[in-house]
Structure 1
């Protein structure tokens, strides 16, 4: 059997559980009276290696173990390198820039108690001893030279100065240093909470990053920050630990502190405005476990603060749908209401529904979810003209006659009606109106002669210039009674009227029609030119009747009731001149059109000489101010 080329040292030392591998090599060389630790490296075939490379080289474990006569597992636990090439500290994977063996740092008090190098002193984010609270020293207090591994003993500098000294007064031990020490001395399979999810290395990276972000310090390597400003490096560690101490509650407190400085940051909105450099750092983070933990905690925080506008789906899905304080974006509200941005946005602004956001440069507009749901219920409870015609069971012309006669319920008002933008009516009121008219049917066992539906009854009196509104008005005032309800007709179309009763009503209405106004007289009462009234009558906007009788009374005439109904339903711009919020200009009609009101007739609509508007639209405009 060939002899082992690596001799075994005659004297051995026991490795401490928290000792570093370079420190053990120094003690082993001292115990065997070697001039420097590098003589020991030469003896095991690592003559060209440095203490830094040996500490980070997993291949150096086997020859060192054979030379020292120690178990390989003990040396692997003290080494900064794992078998897969990753960096470890006391068995825990850590980022490479958070551990250093390039320079030697010590605690004089710890060396006075036991002269060996602690592995945790190589943790670059630590600037003080976790046991005594004194700053870690990297220079000799006598000669001022930087400490290194080329020494005879751990207890003294190369100049002979004793490094292990008692301190006159101990400093306060930072919580961050104590926590880091406790985590590193906990076996990986015994970790709990955040450390179990992201590992000790993830906790260290998160601690350093959050500390720099919280203090608005450029994110640098921990060792470079400690060299430039040790006090600032200590503050960074303390600030980072404040954010991690009671995860995620402590992290939410950290976010509160960042939000408090939002007015000092540039920008108008967004997460960068609220949380500074945290979103950019999070987006650039490549460690999936750490990024996932931070994103989940951030989403949980944002889900409870709907005033912060964001389109982040993981945040919006976390915001509880049943909470009154939860918000939705304008796009989501449009989908829920079945309307468009162009229609909903001005309505939301007028009625104070917007919670946050201005909509500029992509900033999302937020509305309270509870307000949107309430509005959706109200919106579904009102009917525009098309839906109202379906409820009444009549066509366009019949509906216009009923509306002109003033028989419809009062138009809907409020935010939902404003969102419709046109005349609309409460669905319940329309259904009640239909039920009331249908309830007038006598339901006679045998009908009195032939029976006709509403449409046919309307045609029987159409020669007088009258329509369905006249028939229903006669039903409501008791002059005409339906005698049948068809099972096939819907709404008012199910009504059946005796032919004889309809003919008698036509005779009576014809007699009433003779007491009418000429178009010129109607123009005088409306304070418009006769030519305008002629055009309105020609287009059917102002109903007229053909009056039978003597030659002097023949022609189209206006009934007094129709004139009053016209005044209730329509208005010209001159009626609003001088009203609050309205200009006294003669071009007021154009201003009204510019504000979104659609005229019924006018020069730009059908060539009529004067603009005419629905009175309901003008009253809605006045309410808007």
Structure 2
């Protein structure tokens, strides 16, 4: 097979079909002609394309794949339907700098260039003709209008979102919006935009995630704007969406029925851990606004949600309170006990009644003994959204008082709040801290996950993390020992996250950080590469570190256990080290433990 006259080199990550179109355009033929030439070579299509390029080696191509061509592509965990096929999207500025199609542009949910902060162009603004490869090269449509005129600057929020998706092509992309911190791969970002972009429709939402014309840039832009509207005002925008479902079915007490199809989306279709924030926000909403009953049938909910929900059905409440169900029902019907009555969805003359548990013990509670959400947040020095999270995590207890206003609002018992504050004050220490940080700074800047926040308070209660708090201090201004708090958080994440950094591994092994990097380079210690934004970072799994410590031991460790110098011990040992200054130029000597098994050495060899 003869090589093509013009052979532009492929770029790593370039979509395969985009490169084929670029190659065909350079040689004045069609992509179908190139496909036919590759297939004529035989079953090895990779070798066929390499021969057309004069024998040069190929790169890793991006999706989508070409039908009937078995050249592998990077799918990013996505199906072919997640990429554009019939239409071309470009950034005119990027094309002017380097004429090739970026893999990010092929994603249907991507609407802007994360480098130049402008919208992608799919059609000419004047004549509405679609962008083609021939016109993209010259940067202008056939009508004469330059494509730069069809692009415009995007908002900062959209630019940040596009950068997160772009970073995910190399692993994961991070997005921080207020108190919400998201980390997802490309497939998860694509899925989130497909579903979250239309949640604002509320109960009128149909066929979630199924968008037939998503290849249209305007449709994709609508999904992006809908997702940004949801995330920028989190969780209030999400809760307003959920309230639409409740308002559409005020007499239905079934969670699944009322929130269909959203319930199916967040608990079944988006069941991955990356979308846990949707479930957390949903359950936090239920704690405050849901007037139906939450019981053991809702197995998908967190145990804290079921436990902290303030409303129960009459049958269960009667059993727990030791009262007759008919008595409770009569109290509700006579408006002596506030209760919510739901009709049967089947049309039968049967109703379900839910009652606030606290109303049974005190039918007419003293309002002066409670604080509302706003005043409680001011008392503790917290945002209301953060206070809701405290309740959802079980750090604070709240009562729901629907008879005090038109909607259910949380109220906090003053005695319980005083006990909570007094408990923190009793844990206060007078000792000086090496470094200090307030709880408010930890909540705002340390990006704690919900489970980490709950674990932090557990550590405070048991005294593992010291604190200092005066009688006039709000809890957000409570002072923590910065070093010990950070050390505790690193230890907690080390126990819950399956990998550690080379710096952490160096401390555990007792060597310098440079030695760890040398061990990784010599393949004695296995490490994974993860995306760190502009660079790739090395991460060591715990089992990999344990395997290294089980198989190797350093000369310095042996010398310390033997009570001699490393030089003297090295001269005595008959075993040959696997690495070291005189072996391969390493900074330290390391031996295989099995090579030292027959020698009379201290117990450090067997550790």
TM-score, length-normalised on structure 1?
A: 0.45
Q: Which has the higher strand share?
A: 2
* Greater radius of gyration (CA): 1
Q: TM-score, normalised by structure 2?
A: 0.46
